[in-house]
Amino acid sequence: MSTAPIRFDTGASGPLAGFRVLDLSRLVAGNMLSLQLGDFGAEVIKVEPPEGDPLRAWRDGGEPLFWKTYSRNKMSIALNLRKPAAMGALLRLVDTADVFIENFRPGTLEAMGLAPELLLARNPRLILVRISGFGQTGPYAKRRAAPTLGQHTDELLASVGYAPGDIRASRADGGAA
């Protein structure tokens, strides 16, 4: 077995090279998506409010490890989208983007003046990714999905007769996870 060192071609591009992603999400879900798109070569522009993504404040042993992980392969810009000039800058980025990611509460994007119809009128080929815990419409759309959907799942399972801990993850080989 060879123990030759692994060499990386820093000039190599991934299969999504040439794609531009605008990431307006906060915290984990949208950042995980844009991280993976960036890992595959997409140009990811992380659009943050002036105070930054709240994920920047999450610490592990005093270090911003979450931010260091989730912000890799991204360029960050700060835009105060309450200001017309910043909104204009964002719309110019929309004109050249392939993907637009957001995870605001349903209705927030529309209230900001960034309704999907407006974004798609500016850029008909834009892929809109709207992440929310319970969808954009329906009876639970306005509900918060934090801290975890697992809490809701546990309540659902309890309502049909399972006790907490009855359902466990298992490995593909059938063993307990």
- The ranges assigned to domains in the chain are 20-140, 147-177
Rounded Cα–Cα distance for residues 110 and 123 (Å)? 17
| Residue 111 pLDDT greater than 60, yes or no | yes
The CB density around residue 165, as the number of other CB atoms within 10 Å, is 8
State the pLDDT at residue 171.
Answer: 39
The label of the residue with tokens 């500016």 reads 122
pLDDT mean across residues, the chain: 85
Question: How far is CA 25 from each of CA 42, 57, 84, 89, 107, rounded to the nearest angstrom?
Answer: 16, 15, 20, 17, 14
| Residue 59 pLDDT greater than 90, yes or no | no
State the pLDDT at residue 169.
Answer: 42
State the pLDDT at residue 157.
Answer: 61
Superfamily of domain 20-140, CATH level 4: Crotonobetainyl-coa:carnitine coa-transferase; domain 1 (3.40.50.10540)
State the pLDDT at residue 172.
Answer: 45
| Residue 1 pLDDT greater than 80, yes or no | no
| Residue 175 pLDDT greater than 50, yes or no | no
State the pLDDT at residue 5.
Answer: 86
State the pLDDT at residue 165.
Answer: 55
Local confidence band at 176 (pLDDT 50, 70, 90 cut-offs): very low
| Residue 60 pLDDT greater than 80, yes or no | yes
pLDDT in tens, 129-169: 999 888 888 888 887 776 455 555 555 666 666 665 554 44
Question: How far is CA 45 from each of CA 67, 68, 73, 95, 157, rounded to the nearest angstrom?
Answer: 15, 15, 9, 13, 40
- Name which residue leads in pLDDT, 165 or 77: 77
